Amino acid sequence: MEILDLADTLEILDLSNNQLDSLPNDFGKLHQLKIAFFSENNFTELPSVLGQCENLEMIGFKSNKITKINHDAFPERLRWLILTNNLIEEIPATFGKCYRMQKLALAGNQIKQLPAEMTNLKNLELIRISANLLTVLPSWILELPKLSWIAFAGNPVSEVEQVTHSLSGIDWNHLDIQDILGQGASGIISKAILQDEEVAVKVFKGDITSDGLPLNEKNATMAAGAHPNLVQVLGKIINHPDDKKGLVLGLIPPNFKNLGNPPNYETCSRDTFNENTVFTSLEILKIAKGIASVAKHLHALGINHGDLYAHNIMYDEAANNLLGDFGAATFYNPKAKEAETIEKIEVRAFGCLLDDMLMHTNEVENNSIIQHLAELRNDCMQENILARPNFESICDQLDNY
C-alpha cells in the first residue's frame, strides 16, 4: 500500500514476474501513472480499478491467467494494451471507447470474435490477434484508416500454410555451433559452421510471442522462398537433441546493421533512430526499391509480413538491404476479396518506413528524388485504403525516379 504514497509522482510501475492476482481498491489514486506492467503474474481478470487511472496510457498483462475483462477496466487515455498469452474469450464492447488506441496485442488467447464497437479505434496502427479462435476477420478491421501492422496467423480464418517441402533437412549433428548472434522473442540465432561454410542457425522456442506462434514464423520464412532482399534459407534442422524446430540461414555479413530501432514508450508504434542517423536521397531510394520488391514478392505468394519496420531491415554502407523477422507473418488467399485490402494495409507500413527515412535526411530543397518519395509516402499513407497503390505499382514508380 506504500506505493500509493507516490501518487503525485509515480509514472511507471513494473510489477512483472510476481504472484499478484488483484490490485487494491485505491489503485486509482495513482493519478500520474502512465505505464503499468503486470506480466507473468496470477491475475484471472483485468482489474476494473485500472479504469480509474486517468493518465494511464500503457497496460501490460502478458502471460497471466486472465479469462475475464471487466467492462470498466479501460482508462480513456489508453493507447497501448498487451494481453498476450492469456485465456481471454471475449473483449467487452466498452473497449470501443478507447479512441486513442494505437497498439493492441491479443495473440495467444481464445477469442472467437471481436466486438463491432472496435470500429471506433480509428487511431489503431498495430494489432496482433494471432493464435486465437477467430473464424472470420471482422470487416471493420480492414477499414481502419491507420492500420499498418496486422498479424492473424494461427486462427481458423488464416489460410493453411502451403509450405514447400522441398527444403532440405540439415542434420543438427553436422552443425558446429559457435557464438550466439542474437536472441529474439521467438528464438535464438547462432553462428555455425556447416561443411567449412559459416551459416546462421535459428532455433525456435515453443512459447507464444507477442506476434504469435514460432511455428508460423518458421513456415512463413520457408514459404517466402528466394529473393535478393531476403536472408537465404538453406534448410530446416532435423535431429535436434531436444526435438526443437529450426532453420539454417545464410549468414548476414558483419558490415550489415539495423536500419532503425524498435518503438519506445513515447513513439508507441513508430520506430526510433540513433541521434546521428542521416540518409542520402540515393540511399533512401535504394532501400525503398529493395523493400518494395520483396513486399511485392511476398504478397504474390499470399504472405503478409505484418512487421514491415526499419528495425527488421538490415543494410550496409552501399544501402544493400535485407528484410527479416517473419514472426508476425500471416498466410492469406491472394485471390480472396479482402486480399487487396490486406496488401494495402502493409502498404501503409511501407509509407511509415519512407516517412521515417525522409525525416532523417538533409537533402530536401530542390531534390527531385526526395520530392517524388514524399509524394509516394503520402499516397501510401492516405486514409482511403483502396486508393493506396499496391506494391507492384510502387515498384514501377520507384524504377522511374
Question: Is residue 158 a part of any domain in this protein?
Answer: no
pLDDT at position 214 is 86
Residues 129 and 194 in one domain: no
- Alpha carbon dihedral 171, 173, 175, 180, in 10-degree steps, equals 110
Q: For the chain, how many residues are written?
A: 401
Does 120 share its domain with 80?
A: yes
Domain that holds residue 293: 257-399
Residue 343 and residue 287 share a domain: yes
Type of residue at 370: I
Strands laid side by side in the 321-323 sheet: 257-258, 313-315, 321-323
Please list the rounded mean pLDDT of every run of 10 residues in the chain (401 residues): 94 98 96 98 97 97 97 96 97 96 97 96 97 93 97 88 69 94 87 94 88 89 94 93 92 95 95 95 97 98 97 97 94 93 98 97 84 97 97 97 88
Query: 64: domain CATH number?
Result: 3.80.10.10
Residue where one domain finishes, among candidates 250, 275, 297: 250
Cα 334 to Cα 381: distance, rounded to the nearest angstrom: 22
Shared domain for 382 and 289, answered yes or no, is: yes
Distance CA 361, CA 83 (A): 37
What is the pLDDT, as a whole number, of residue 186?
A: 85
Q: Which of 227, 250, 273 is the last residue of a domain?
A: 250
- Which CATH number does the domain housing residue 363 bear? 1.10.510.10
Is residue 309 located within the same domain as residue 391? yes
CATH classification of the domain holding 192: 3.30.200.20
pLDDT reported for residue 397: 97
E strands in 54-175: 58-60, 68-69, 80-82, 103-105, 126-128, 149-151, 169-171
Asked, for residue 24, whether it belongs to a domain, the answer is yes
Does residue 361 lie in a domain region?
Answer: yes
Q: Would you tell me how many other CB atoms lie within 10 Å of the CB of residue 245?
A: 19
Q: 91 and 114 in contact (C-beta within 8 Å)?
A: yes
Residue 159 lies in a domain: no
166 Cβ contact list (under 8 Å, min separation 6): none
What is the 3-state composition of the chain as percent helix, strand, coil, each rounded to the nearest 5?
Answer: 25, 20, 55
Cα distance from N-terminal residue to C-terminal residue, the chain = 62
Residue 108 lies in a domain: yes
Identity of residue 292: A
Residues 6 and 146 both lie in one domain: yes
User: Domain for residue 156, yes or no?
Assistant: no
Q: Are residues 224 and 325 in the same domain?
A: no
Domain count, the chain: 3
Alpha carbon distance 273, 286 (integer Å): 19
Please give the pLDDT value at position 162.
57
Among 225, 250, 275, the domain-final residue is 250
User: Other CB atoms closer than 10 Å to residue 366's CB: what's the count?
Assistant: 7
12 and 51 part of one domain? yes
Measured distance CA(392)–CA(295) in Å, rounded: 9
Pair 86, 64: CB distance under 8 Å: yes
Residue 184's pLDDT is: 79
Q: Model pTM?
A: 0.94
* C-alpha closest to that of 269 among 185, 389, 349: 349
* Beta bridge partners of residue 313, listed in sequence order: 323
Helix (H, G, I), strand (E, B) or coil at 223: helix
